Structure 1
Amino acid sequence: MIRQGESRFGGIDVLVNNAGHGYRAAVEEGEADEVEELFATNFFGPVALMKAVLPGMRMRHKGTIVNISSIAARTTEPGSGYYAATKCALEGLSRGLQKECASLGISVIIVEPGAFRTDFAGRSLRQSRTAMNDYAATAGLRRIGNDVTNGHQIGDPEKGAELIIKAVGSLEPPELLVLGSDAVKVVSDALSTDLAQVEAWKKNSIITDYSD
């Protein structure tokens, strides 16, 4: 598809890695084959596409890569550990790529959406084949049969897409784009919590350096 796009349009200007799906399971409940498929879709698929478009973007010194992550990469709910892990991996790779490509005229935007009224929580959502009783009050609450959020999410997909387009077309594309009022609160609270944890242990942390 990359070759077809380059042949038809003369080059790929923007890649949006949007394909992906959720997976609900306590860490202990996760099935190896399901987790491997999840990473293949949410992480290794985007990696393959990025590597496919980068040669052309480098040659033209122009291009934008948009990687759709999730607020799950900031704060992980019980039962979403594996899904969050795929998004943390995608964000880590994206941050490295940002530094590698900035001088080449290539922008990389990490998008962290909140809850949007898409099919994510509908037929695209999957879960482990097994459910353990000990996790019923934690991860179990978010299994598909107990999730009533689908169709009631606060985010409007059209407005989200419009903002992504605006960011891609801006003179200085953001390295991080947060979508939705819920996402703004989650990300802001997570950053504040992390900073508080760093400050609380700062005196202990710095003593691990070698002494002169």
Structure 2
Amino acid sequence: MTTQRKRWSSGSGSQTNATSVEPSASPAVGSCQPTWRSSTRVEGNSAVNRDRTAGSMPSRPGLVQLSSMGGQMSFAGFAAYSATKFALEGLSEALADEVGSLGIKVLVVEPGAFRTGLFGNASTRTRIADYDATVDATRSMVGGGDGGQPGDPAKAAAAVLAALAAEHTPLRLPLGSDAVDAILQHTESVRTEIEQWEHTTRATTFDD
């Protein structure tokens, strides 16, 4: 008898996510305080993963974790959103290490700007003049970007299915040129900074 293999999707989809644009450091805003959204994106995802990787399941799923390019990097105004995506990526990396030997694939999808309802669901806090040079640029981008995103959701779905069907499914799959370019630039920036401080950071062991 052929066992049907199922592909499950978990995580918060960009179609249903709500984006909150706000300064993270302002005591008047406090975007780093826990919200129901952050709880749902991380704790809810963990609960779904536990259920779908249970040993009693008749088939082993492939887990699609819907993150964002904001799970690898962040910028002004997206602190609360990226915090949940960073958490999801760390959870997913550990999960992949735990279940890989069981034949369960874990795929972290990192979309850029796709034409979904994400920007249409955006919420903003009261404008604070001190952040005009930083957060307001993000606020304007989100406020005027709905309906004009370059990414095609149908092509994104096809790319996800292709990655799942591949013999060697990647752990992370950035989607869209904006995501690929931004993540590569961020990765190179991290590498450069580490190399600049490498002598200092390596010199922290005991002198035997």
Q: Which TM-score band applies after superposition, normalised by the shorter structure?
A: 0.7 to 0.9
Q: Distance in 2 between matches of 1:189 and 1:32?
A: 26
SS at match of 1:148: helix
Deviations 1:33-82 (A, max 9, x none): 7x4112123222211211111115x6456221111111112221210011
Distance of aligned partners of 1:31 and 1:71 in 2 relative to their CA distance in 1, 3 Å threshold: closer
2:69 paired with 1:71: yes
Report the CA distance shift for 1:47/1:11 in structure 2 as closer, same or farther (over 3 A).
farther
**Equivalent position to 1:21, from 18, 22, 46:** 18
Structure 1 runs of 4+ with >6 Å offset: none
| Distance apart, 1:137 and its partner CA | 2.1
Q: What secondary structure is seen at the aligned counterpart in 2 of 1:147?
A: helix
Asked if 1:191 is matched to 2:199, the reply is no
- TM-score normalised per structure 1: 0.85
Deviates more, 1:173-182 or 1:145-154: 145-154
SS at match of 2:149: coil
* Structure-2 change in CA distance of 1:145 and 1:195 (3 Å): closer
- For 1:30, the equivalent position in structure 2 comes to 30
**CA offsets per residue over residues 77-115 of structure 1, 9 Å max, x none?**
210011010000000000010111111111111111111
Quote the residue 1:3 is aligned against: none
Letter in 2 for 1:37: W
SS at match of 1:16: strand
Comparing 159-168 and 58-67, the one that deviates more = 58-67
TM-score, length of structure 2 as denominator length: 0.87
Stretches of structure 1 lacking an aligned partner (at least 5 in a row): 1-9
Matched, 1:169 2:168: no
Question: Within 2, Cα distance between the matches of 1:143 and 1:181?
Answer: 22
CA contact (8 A) 1:21 1:42 kept: no
Can you give the 5+ residue segments of structure 2 that lack an aligned partner in the other structure?
A: none
Distance 1:173 1:31 in 2: 35
- Identity score, percent: 31
More helix by share: 1
Residue type of the partner of 2:64?
A: V
Aligned length: 199
- State the one-letter code of the partner of 2:36: E
Mapped to 2, the partners of 1:150 and 1:175 lie a distance apart of 29
Range moving further from structure 2, 35-44 or 137-146: 137-146
- Say if 1:110 and 1:32 are closer, same or farther in 2 by CA, change over 3 A: closer
Contact 1:108-1:175 within 8 A present in 2 as well: yes
Equivalent residues in 2 for 1:24-173 (5 A)? 24-27=21-24, 28=26, 29-30=29-30, 35-55=34-54, 59-60=57-58, 62-122=60-120, 124-128=121-125, 130-143=126-139, 147-173=143-169
Are the structure 2 counterparts of residues 14 and 146 from structure 1 closer, same or farther at C-alpha, using a change threshold of 3 Å?
Answer: closer
